[in-house]
Chains A and B, each alone.
Chain A
């Protein structure tokens, strides 16, 4: 079974600085999707960024970018120019190729709580 590991339960960053959140995953599949979701205190889950495994180019969305290392099975999220509104839980997720079974097709990590200091 695939797993997603976020090794940093909590992180802190100074406003306007850059922070990187780590995510590793375990899979034998060659084609899949990876995601980062943000959950602010309002508890709404918001998609931050998405990466297709077959694309070598790292995805970017404004101040958010990823470092996708397929061979290392690593998918880190970099937040540049951190803002107070970036404070939230961040979840890494893996979309497996094959459907069905008790894992469905999406597997989440346990999350990293990011604090932003003014």
Chain B
């Protein structure tokens, strides 16, 4: 199975900060990577697919990059609504796998 490792596991930041979360795959997955946002008690929300494509309705402050084994999710200017947990998911080959999550909270 392909293992997905996110870093950091937790992150404290302030409104207006630029934040980057990294996801590494244990083998090459081309650009078949998605990012999700999840708030407590809520269903995960798709933010980014194919590593860098923004899902419809997602604010442009979210961006994704990378290919192969290393990927990043960047939030250009944190807003209060962005404090949540973020997950990456590879869908290059099944069984599909998620990262362990990165919890982003307010400093």
Do A and B actually bind? no
Binding site for B on A (CB under 8 A): none
